[in-house]
Amino acid sequence: MLRIYENEQLALVRESAKQFTKEFIKPFVKDWDEKQYFPIDLFKKLGEYGFMGILVPEKYNGGGLGYQEYITILDEISQVCGAIGLSLAAHNSLCTNHILSFASEIQKQKYLPKLATGEWIGAWGLTETSSGSDAAGLSTTGVKEGEYYIINGSKTFITHAISGDVAVVMVRTGNMGDKKGVTAFIIDKDTPGFSAGKKLDKLGMRASETASLFFDNCKIHQDQIIGKEGEGFVQALKLLDGGRISIAALSLGIARGAYLSALRYANEREQFNQKIYDFQAVGFCLADLSTKIEASELLVRQAGQLKDGGKTVTKESAMAKLYASEIAVEVSNEAVQIHGGYGFTKDYPAEKFFRDAKLCTIGEGTSSIQKMVISREIRKDV
């Protein structure tokens, strides 16, 4: 397919990701999904290929690439397994990128080389049982005692909570609801008082590990603060702009994977002595899906280009995430329908795309939150 935005380097990146996925992911997708198995060794291998530190500069052993390459890699991997795409996105855009974007040089030198090479897997903790979309209403507290903070509370729906070697965690160090009362800490896995809960049994994205984090008088030195006390909320909001591009790219890959599965099936399956693709209802449906996927990609690529240019992407990333995630759900739903009864079985990949896609409309801000962000931004145009 001709892609007007794709240059020689991007084509090489795409081919590398495609070959990696074909060799190391595709043969195991069904088994990982059924067993809800998080393949840690795969992420070590992803690190060898430079996919665990895509946006990290080469001086920290990263890939030194930009958002266009990042989008391409997530797209290719998610076409085969959305769960692996999700974990890759969470590691790159949340934990690793938070440290890259806001940490001190000492902190960067300590953590980024291990995260970028896949030696360590990263987690990122914002969501709590009582505060999801209300990111300022955190209950997890950090009370200062001399040079240390005593952290108590919990986080939920945390990717890599169990297997992660390090976590960046948002903690309330000020008053409830105060946007300047949240602080970001880097917490190593073996820190006393820091533990993980039971792996959640999920509808989709089952090969991506999700669990809770717990803090029981967890003692953290002030040197582990990212930036300054009280800057965590603002850091998180800025980080989520890029994170939404990640979920948009993940959504794009899932949509494309579901579409290609349906396209192949429609050209193989025969009814009434013809391919079902030749029935106008099926052919027109696939035409609509293809068009919507192309539109999704243009939104995602635009947000990525602006991000690479150092521009503010609050509106653009929210639009890309909103549209691409909703289209992923629509495409995967239609893919199951085109497969008919077979789409309801695990013999074909359509049902997995269907299950995985729904998370994209929820994670890193629901569709309603994206609309709230967009409506707030477009009001500035008046």
Question: In this structure, what are the phi and psi dihedrals at residue 176, rounded to the nearest 5 degrees?
Answer: -55, 130
Question: In this structure, what are the phi and psi dihedrals at residue 179, rounded to the nearest 5 degrees?
Answer: -65, -20
| 8 A C-beta contact, residue 115 and residue 99 | yes
- Alpha helices (runs of H) in the chain, residue ranges in sequence order: 8-24, 29-35, 40-48, 67-78, 82-90, 97-102, 105-116, 232-266, 280-308, 314-339, 350-360, 367-378
Contacts of 21 by beta carbon, 8 Å cutoff, 6+ apart: 76, 77, 79, 80, 81
How many whole angstroms separate alpha carbon 164 and alpha carbon 159? 8
Residues labelled catalytic: 364
82 C-beta neighbours (distance < 10 Å), count? 35
* Per-position b or e across 89-122, b if 16+ CB within 10 A of its CB: bbbbbbbbbbbbebbeeebbeebbbbbbbbebbb
Residue 75: which of 288, 366, 360, 318 has the closest Cα?
360
How many whole angstroms separate alpha carbon 43 and alpha carbon 199? 18
